[in-house]
Amino acid sequence: MLAVALPDNGSALPNVAESLDRALEGRLGRLAAEEEVAQAIGRTAVLHPNEELGARRVVAVGLGPAAEIDADALRTAAARVSAAADRVGGALAWLLDDSLGLTPAEQARAIVDGLVLGAYDPGRWKQEVKELPFDQLVLIGSDDATEPARRALSVAEATNRARDLANTGANELTPEKLAARAQDIASEREHVTAEALGPEQIEKLGMGAFAGVAQGSHNPPRLIVMRYEPPQSKGDTVLGLVGKAVTFDTGGISIKPALYMEDMKGDMAGGAAVIEGMGAIAQLGLPIRVIAVVAATENMVGGGSYRPGDVLRAMNGKTIEITNTDAEGRLVLADALHYTRQQGATHLVDFATLTGAMEKALGDFYAGVFGNEDSWRDEVVAAGEASGDHAWPWPMHRRYRAYIESAFADMKNSSVRGQAIPAYAASFLEEFVGEGPWAHVDMAGTGFYTWPRNDYMGQKGGTGYGVRLIVELAARLTR
């Protein structure tokens, strides 16, 4: 199958498509005009050549108005091509077009994203599982696209693996099983090590916040620690990646509503992104030292559960009054952040499906990013925008610290006011990050979709958000 993308520029076909149209004796142009292909992103029309080309089928796919074309438009177009190829299989060739306003490398990256992420099937537990509809991709039009496409494929495959983790039920994906995945990556990738600390080690480290959340579950917690030490690394930067991995969140005693509670298996999406992002960094051989720490636990209801009114002591010695057991993510991150800095991370970034308020604010398209240094926060945002993991900067003013004040402890983990909830959570986390740059990515809306979306990431469930951002950020730090 041969694919060509068509922008709506209100006039003739672009040069690449025009050359193809001549080879097809004008049939491509007529089909595109009759079905108004170019006017809508992802609209497709399939042509069956009469021996004019080596391809059995030509699929034209729309990109919408030429002035509005971006990488996401091309990703969604590629996903629709993938769907059109579903019953054909074989090789797929794609004609790159230098008139689209995207470089060949940017086009290659977007096309691979759309094809691989768009073809993802969340139904891994069905008797019949769909596979990629093609077995080879050929990009035609630039030699500069081959390497970016190869790298994009590695990252997209890691993203889909993170989606698999988020979609796995908590009966299968316990903290112990998530730790086993990290150890698998360490065995598969050079210069990566992984260890998993159990309850006794967690308590010995003084991680009272993390241990408090974990104490109500029969499945014991794991502090997953991965290290990537390439033989040659640029500079003294050590990137610290921290992930929230609540493998099932009932809300604890402050129990969640029953509606959509099944989606709480995805409350470990931030941890999944960190684990698979680390694997992708190592696979690409990026010359940067990285430490990844994932706090994995369940938040369950039981006789041993932590309670509202409890006071927990975190690893850095600060005490926390519990006012809501469903504000557990910030507790497990608190100890994980402190530990990661203690282990030598110079630059921290955490990923967490943390506050429902973030989803209300930004929907399922953008994650919110906070930081203790604007320049580092903006670097994380830029990496998200460049990679397709869209992110938006949020403010962190010192006055937000007043929200977390407690009469009984150094701070409390939630407030009945319900004001500035994402900023409240970020201000809480800032108490545990130590000295140096830190950014917090609240990916509540982007990490797990409750409803399908009408684009290349359209399926319900885990999205793998954060994997692409992590790899892009690591790559930028090596330049």
**Could you give the residue numbers annotated as active site?**
256, 330
Q: Which amino acid is at 144?
A: D
Helix orientation angle between 421-430 and 329-342, rounded to the nearest 10 degrees = 30
3-state secondary structure of 167: helix
3-state secondary structure of 255: coil
Q: How many angstroms separate the CA atoms of 28 and 37, rounded?
A: 11
Question: What's the DSSP call for residue 196?
Answer: E
Contacts of 71 (CB under 8 A, 6+ apart): 102, 106, 109, 110, 113, 388
What residues pair up with 289 in beta bridges, in sequence order? Answer: 238
Contact 440, 423 (CB under 8 A): no
Q: Report which of 402, 396, 395, 432 is spatially closest to residue 417, judged by C-alpha positions.
A: 402
Q: How many angstroms separate the CA atoms of 346 and 324, rounded?
A: 32
The b/e string for 95-108 (b: 16+ C-beta within 10 A; e otherwise) is bbbeebebebbbbb
Q: Per-residue DSSP letters for 446-462?
A: TSEESS--SSTT-SSEE
Q: Report which of 338, 341, 382, 376 is spatially closest to residue 240, judged by C-alpha positions.
A: 341
How far is the first Cα of the chain from the last one, in angstroms, to the nearest whole number? 37
Q: How many angstroms separate the CA atoms of 292 and 242, rounded?
A: 6
Q: How many angstroms separate the CA atoms of 330 and 418, rounded?
A: 16
Q: How many angstroms separate the CA atoms of 281 and 155, rounded?
A: 9
Q: How many angstroms separate the CA atoms of 115 and 133, rounded?
A: 9
Question: What's the DSSP call for residue 387?
Answer: H
Residue with tokens 């609540």: 246
Q: How many angstroms separate the CA atoms of 192 and 197, rounded?
A: 17
